[in-house]
Every structure is written in structure tokens, then in C-alpha cells.
Structure 1
Amino acid sequence: MRKLIVPIVTLALLAGAYQLGTRQRAEPVVIKVPSTPAAQFNSAGSESVGAVAQDAVRRLATPTSGEVILVRDGESIQDAVNRAAPGAVIKVMPGTYRETVYIDKDNITLSGVIEQGNYPVLEGDGVRNDAILYSGNGTTIENFHITHYKGNGVMGQAGNNFIIRNNIVVDTGVYGIFPQLGQNGIVSHNVLSGIEDAAIYIGMSDNVDVVYNRVFESVAGIEIENSRSALVEANYVYNNTGGILAFVTPGLPIKTCGDVLIRNNFVIDNNHENFAVPGSIVANVPAGTGMLVMACDDVVIEGNIVTGNNSAGIIFTDFTLATNIPNDPGSEPNPNRPKLLDNLMRDNGLDPAPVVRAYLATQLESRGPDIVDTVGMDDGCILHPARYRTIGLEKYGECAFDTTAKVATYTLPQPVPPRGLENVDIGKLTYYGICAGCHAYSVRLIGPPTQIIQALYMDNPQGIAAYARQPVKKREDYPEMPPQQHLDGETLLAAARYMLSLKN
């Protein structure tokens, strides 16, 4: 006979409904619902996509012309790109390809063919810098296994309307997937691990969706840097040093970060040791950080499962976290208007990293919180604050909305034209689109700061241009620079002159 087990809480409630053996009717619990619904979610980025919220989600596609070029094992992918006209689809069969691929044409689809689980493999052998560099607009890169490069797996250089999906990226040095200065793009369904900076790095870009990726065993899982209107949704981010980051790096040409929606992600057990290059920005990220928002404005965090991150679930902070960040008057340091909606948070802060432990000591705490605001912003909001262990959120109000469901995507319904900067010359555009991804003015990124390059070359732009075309490794503490041979001499010289003219 099965034994009926009644929870003690249930027995207590039943006991309250009976008095001296006489049945009494329990008083109903009345929950008052506001008579008017909360205001709809609205932000700078959602205004541009709100009008198309009922349209198909993520309609972005690379236009094709009907031309198909087949690349077989033993042949060159770069040769196929060189032969291709805009709109071509380049199909790459399974095999191992030891090369760097440059795409400087518009509307090129580079598509791997997967047969019985076998991918085309781009193999860096630990000596090549980058697997794929694209500067064309309307580039799709899909279905590749990219590994053992020293610099980047996939790097975009001012290309718009990009799609990077269904790739496996393992041990590619500094960055795994790195679109820079691009607008209107999708990074989806990729698997990345073993990256010493950021596995997925959205740099100085606009209107980008980062969705359905699996990211693990890297320093930073997903990083939104100096970018605007980014959606980070439905990613599985685990066993990184920091799971999801949104921040401003001072010293870059674009000074702001804002309107980032971090929604419905699994951010689990991000406790990996920090193995970033010493002196880099992400070397400051404490192990055990679920999410880190540094100086990025209008970040909305909704519907995430954030558990098992040993330092803290979510950290809002200013530039004081990073001791090696230079002063940049153009970069405002505070994480303005943070918004925290419903999230599930559990078992965070059980073993804080030393830098977090030191901060907690100033708050008379020893366990890390679910959510901490080290600045103490007074313009933030949070729903149901009693659900979380928090520090520094005393001035937060209640959010005027409870969901962002109306915003399905931050990509735009129509392709945008090639990215240009009004009233600028080719040197400035090249610097923004290519050089600034590795060289900030006074802070270390991948390569030496621009200030150091200015000191070395002074009035010698020809020397910079010649080195960029055929670089050699000079410094043990920096990775070798990839050759910029896809740029003509005039463009390289113009970029070098602009680099030497910079003041901040």
C-alpha cells in the first residue's frame, strides 16, 4: 500500500482552515492587478525596429546571382573568392584548408558542405593569424570548422549585412568571431571555445543579433563593445571567465555603448580562470562573473537563467574595475539607465574572486551577490527586487514595463548601404574599419596602442604602410600582425597618415 506523504506546509494550511473540529472557510487572498498595463518597452534601438515587429524575424539574407563555385579538398578557397563575382555562392567541400581567406567583394556566400558530420576545416597550424577576413557588404560565412589560428577566426572589417552562422571555432587566439564597424548583422548557431579574449566580439557595430550560440572555456563568452542596438538572446554561455559582457573601451573612435538587450540566455558556471594576455582589458574580468556591464547605457536584462557564477551573477560598474584603462574625455564612465526585468538567479557568489572579495569587504559582505551596482546608479529600475541578493541597488525604481516581447530582432528589414563616414577620407575610414579593431589610442587591444606606434614611426607613414603590408613579429608580448595585402598601397598610406595624426 502506497503511503500518502503530505508536506508540512500543506498540513499547516489545513490546520488553519479548521478550528476545534469545526470547518471554517479560509479568507481568500486578494491580489490587486493594476487597472492599466505597464508601458510598452521602448528604447533608442527599438524605435527603429518597432514598426516592423510583426514582420518576419531576422529577414536578413545575402543576395545571390545564381553563380556557384565548388572548392574541393586540395584546392584554394582564396582562388575561388578571387574568381567570384558579387552574388556568387562558394561551396567548400569537406577537407582541410590551410590558408587565410580575404573577402573584399559584396554579396559573397562562403558556405561549407557538411557530409556525414565532416566539415571543411580551416586549419591555422598555430602559425597563421586569421582564418577569414571580410570587408565586403552582404557576406555570409557558414558551416566551417575553424581552429588553431593565432589572431581571429572570422573578422569583419566595416562590412554591413553580414551573417556568420553554424560554425565551430576552437582555439583561434584573440577572438573567435569579430565583426567590427558593421551594421545589420547576425551571429547565430555557432559553437566556440578556447579563446583568450572574447569568443564572440561585436565591436563598434550597430543592429546586430547574437543568438543561439554555444560559448564555453574562453575568457569572455560574448562581448558587446562600443556598440549600439544589439540583441543577445538564447545563447548557452558556460565555463568562461565572464559570460556576457557589454562595455565601453576608452580610446576607440566610437565612444559609446548602448541599447543592448540581453534576453533568455543560459549563463551558467562561468568560473574559468582568466587566461587573457596581461594588460588587455578583459584581463581585468574577475573569474566567476555571469554578466558584466561597464559604462554601457540602456542595458535591459530579461528572462535569463544566471546560476553558479562564483563572484556575482550580474555586475554593473564603471571604469574603476579596469586599472589599466586610460582617461578618455569622450567616454562617459557610468552604466546609465540599467533595467532588470524577471530573471532566474541562484547559487551565485559562493566563492568570489579576490578583487570582488575586496569590494565585498567594504560592504561588510563575504558572499557575492546576484546583482551588484558598484556605482550606485539612481536612474536604474528593477522588477521584484526581493527575489535577488543585491548590493548597490537601493536607488533603483520599479521598471515601467515588464517585458520586451514586442522587440523580436534588432536587425533591420532591408539591407543597409555600404558603411561610410560622412565627410571623411579613405584614411580615416580604413583606420576605423580595420586598424581600430586592434589598435586603440592609449589602451592595449590586440596590437600595441596607437600612441606607441606614433612614437616609433613619428613622421614616417611610409614605414607603417610597408610594415602593415608585410609585418614580422617584433614583440613577444603581442601576437603577430596579419598582413594587410588586400589593401592597396594608397589606402595603406592614407590609413598610416591618419593614425599618426590622432590625438586621442
Structure 2
Amino acid sequence: MAAGLGVLTPSAAAAGRRVLPGDSIQEAVNFARPGDIITVMPGTYYENVLITKRVTLRGYGARTVIKPPVTATTPVNPVNPGTPVAPPEPGATGAPVPPGAAAAPVAPAAPGAAANGRALTCSQADTGICVMGTAEQPVVGVDIRSLTVSGFKRNGIWASHTDRLSVQRVIAEKNGTWGIAQERSTRGLFRDNTARDNAESGLFIANTVDREGGATDTLGAVVRRNTLTGNRIGVTVRRVRNLAVYGNTATGNCGGIFVVGDEGEPGAGDMTIRNNRIHENNKFCKGNSRLPDIQGVGIVLTGAEETVVRANSIRGNVGASPLSGGILLFKSFVGATNTDNVIQDNEVRDNKPADLANQGTGSGNRFLNNRCESSVPAGMC
């Protein structure tokens, strides 16, 4: 069983660091040397974890759970002026730590973090695990496996300025924004995770989240074999290029997969979305200032270019939103067009109002050999 969960054998674990219930994961990370393996034993740990160096953090799947701290934390370094730090829960100050739970440590800033405040802000902003490098020195080769991050106000796992981050067999559930999210990063691997019941996307890959700008090259990021249920959107890739999203299952979300671009240069796209199972994403999510209501959405491309959507199974996505349907090329709210995308060899059935739809004024988009029953405009099936 231990081998199946991807955790260490006792002999291998002894060469690294082991965290027991009542211990602090953050303390183990602080004292770890680059390349160390930290094994978090089964139990519930009430803390935020900040990673700024190459380590492996492994647990025992659903049996190793990281939850929000029950005691308030106090920042030890200033953050950027105007950067909000989430307040503690009402009544949290002085709350006792449950038996067997680790008290929430105050994460020390990594080298360079005090200058920009990013690492500390992430740790203090109700995120479970933060992996934080800097523009000058990305953190390389962090590996997070086989644990659960649950119930954080913002994100389960958040990463910025990373290279070759690996997140595998993680359960990210019931978090207030994203389950697993990454920005300003390259060559990430997100495989065999479960992201469920998160308020926004289960998995979110973006260029940046704090400003507009052209799409960035992920240098081949991979989103593979993840299970995404009960989220607002299963997978969102926003203003990025050069990645693959394949073999995932998205069901019971408001929407399955969103590819989002805008008028920035270079444009979003140059990616492959293939062999995904996207069925019955019919949960209703109220719209916001950026998007209308979302319900019954399979795959949406908005402001995307040179993206291949191939060999996906997209069934039973039904709704009355402007975004509803099987595969939709949607007119961007900021005027960016979909251009030179290929929609090919997909099984797209029982989606309403249509299995395939091509909206807007984009050019060069091709719909080839899809097995479907209805399209807008007609004739694409």
C-alpha cells in the first residue's frame, strides 16, 4: 500500500525527515537541506506551509491532511504596501490547538522574500502550501505528493516563480479560490490529483494573476489524469502557451475546461487538449464581473490560438448560459478572437444548446471528423 501511495519505505524515510502528528511540517521544511525528502505521517496538521527550496513533501494521501491553522499568525516581515493580508477567523486568537495537531508556525521569509513580500503574503493569506521563488531565482524541482489540503480560505496549493514543480496524487478540496494553482512558472507537472468542491478552478495555470499581459511559455507544462468534481471550473489555463491537458476527468463542475486569452501578445494557445472525459458539468455557478453564469459547459476557448482539441469525450453538458454546450469557441469579452484552432475527432453528444459552437469573428478554425448531433452554425457535425 505504501508503495502504491508513492510514500517512502521506512528505510528510505529514515534518510530524510519524518513529521509526526503534533509536529510542525513547516519546521521540517525550514531545517531541510535542498534535495531532502520530508515524509508527513498520517494525521491532521493545522498550519500553512511555505516552501522556498528544492524538497520533496510526501504524505499518505487522504490520511495526511493539512487544514487551516486554528491559532492566528502574525507576520514577521512587512509585505508590499497595499497587499492585503487575510484577517484571522473571528475568535481564532488564542484558540487551543486540537490534540494531535501541529500549531501553526509563523513561516520565515525566504531569501529575497522580505523585499517583495510575496512568499510571506502567500503563507499568511490562508493558503495551504505555498511554493515561492523569485523572478531572479525560481525555486526548482519541488515535489509534492500524496497528501490532502482542505478548507483554506484561498488556495490549497499555490506556486509562483517555480520550475519543474511536481504535484501528484494530492487531494485539494473545499478551498475558497483554487484547489491547485500556479503562475509565473515553467515545466510544471500536475498528475493524478483530485480537486473537488473548490470555489473557483480545481486546477489553475496562468501567466500572472495580479496584472494583464501577453501569454507566457510554460515550456511544456502537463496537466494529466486529474479528477475534477464540484468546482466552478475543472481546469483553467489562462494567458499561457505550450502545454498539454490530457487524460483528465471533469464531471459535476459548472464548467469542464477553459482556455482563456485576451488581446495581449503573444496570444494564449499553442496547446493540446486531448483524451479528456468531460461529462455532465451541470452545476450552476452565478456569474461575476468577468464571466456570465456558468452551467453545462464542456470545453470553452476564448481568445485562443493554435490549440488542438482532439479525441475528447464530451457528453451531457446542459445549461442556458451563453457558455453552455459541448465545445464552444466563444467571443472574448475584451475582443480577442479565436484563430487557427483545430477541433478534431471528438465524441460530443447530448450537450445543449449545441454540441459544437463557433462564435465570434475568428478565422482559420477547423472542425474535423467530430461525432456530434448539433452545431451552431449548422453543418459542423
Shorter-chain TM-score bucket reads 0.7 to 0.9
Max Rg structure: 1
Aligned AA (1:83): F
Q: Deviations over 1:151-170 (max 9, x none)?
A: 00001111010100101111
Give the alignment partner of residue 230 of structure 2, picking from 214, 217, 220. 217
Higher strand share: 2
Distance in 1, matches of 2:297 and 2:378, equals 18
Q: Deviations over 1:428-453 (max 9, x none)?
A: xxxxxxxxxxxxxxxxxxxxxxxxxx
When normalised by structure 1's length, the TM-score is 0.55
Shift of 1:67: 5.0
Give the alignment partner of residue 77 of structure 1, picking from 6, 15, 25. 25
The answer on whether the counterparts of 2:196 and 2:228 sit within 8 Å (CA) in structure 1 is yes
Mark the CA change 1:237 to 1:111 in structure 2 (over 3 Å): closer, same or farther: same
Compute the RMSD of aligned alpha carbons: 2.5
Match runs of 1:314-463 below 5 Å: 314-320=327-333, 333-349=336-352, 368-384=353-369, 387-392=372-377
Give the alignment partner of residue 284 of structure 2, picking from 253, 273, 283. 273
Q: Deviations over 1:344-382 (max 9, x none)?
A: 111110xxxxxxxxxxxxxxxxxx111111114331112
Highest relative contact order (Cα 8 Å, sep 6+), 1 or 2?
Answer: 1
Match runs of 1:19-38 below 5 Å: none
- 1:197 equivalent to 2:197? Answer no
Distance in 1, matches of 2:243 and 2:378, equals 24
Mark the CA change 1:111 to 1:249 in structure 2 (over 3 Å): closer, same or farther: farther
- 1:120 equivalent to 2:128? Answer no
Give the alignment partner of residue 68 of structure 1, picking from 16, 19, 24. 16
Mark the CA change 1:250 to 1:94 in structure 2 (over 3 Å): closer, same or farther: farther
The answer on whether the counterparts of 2:189 and 2:223 sit within 8 Å (CA) in structure 1 is yes
SS in 1 for 2:179: strand
Distance in 2, matches of 1:190 and 1:142, equals 9
Aligned AA (1:73): P
Shift of 1:194: 1.1
Specify the alignment match of 2:181 in structure 1: 178
Percent identity over the alignment?
25
Distance in 2, matches of 1:197 and 1:275, equals 11
Distance in 2, matches of 1:290 and 1:186, equals 23
Specify the alignment match of 1:289 in structure 2: 297
The answer on whether the counterparts of 1:376 and 1:392 sit within 8 Å (CA) in structure 2 is no
Q: Deviations over 1:394-441 (max 9, x none)?
A: 7x8x9xxxxxxxxxxxxxxxxxxxxxxxxxxxxxxxxxxxxxxxxxxx
Distance in 2, matches of 1:199 and 1:102, equals 20
The answer on whether the counterparts of 1:151 and 1:173 sit within 8 Å (CA) in structure 2 is yes
Specify the alignment match of 2:130 in structure 1: 133
Shift of 1:259: 1.0
When normalised by structure 2's length, the TM-score is 0.73
Give the alignment partner of residue 98 of structure 1, picking from 40, 46, 63. 46
Shift of 1:120: 1.1
Specify the alignment match of 1:89 in structure 2: 37
The answer for unaligned runs of 5 or more in structure 1 is: 1-63, 326-331, 350-367, 399-504
Aligned AA (1:113): Y
Give the alignment partner of residue 111 of structure 1, picking from 33, 38, 58. 58
The answer on whether the counterparts of 1:125 and 1:149 sit within 8 Å (CA) in structure 2 is no
Shift of 1:392: 3.8
Higher helix share: 1
The answer for unaligned runs of 5 or more in structure 2 is: 1-11, 71-88, 90-124, 133-138, 208-216, 319-323
Equivalent residue pairs, number:
296
Specify the alignment match of 1:229 in structure 2: 242
Distance in 2, matches of 1:262 and 1:340, equals 10
Mark the CA change 1:250 to 1:200 in structure 2 (over 3 Å): closer, same or farther: farther
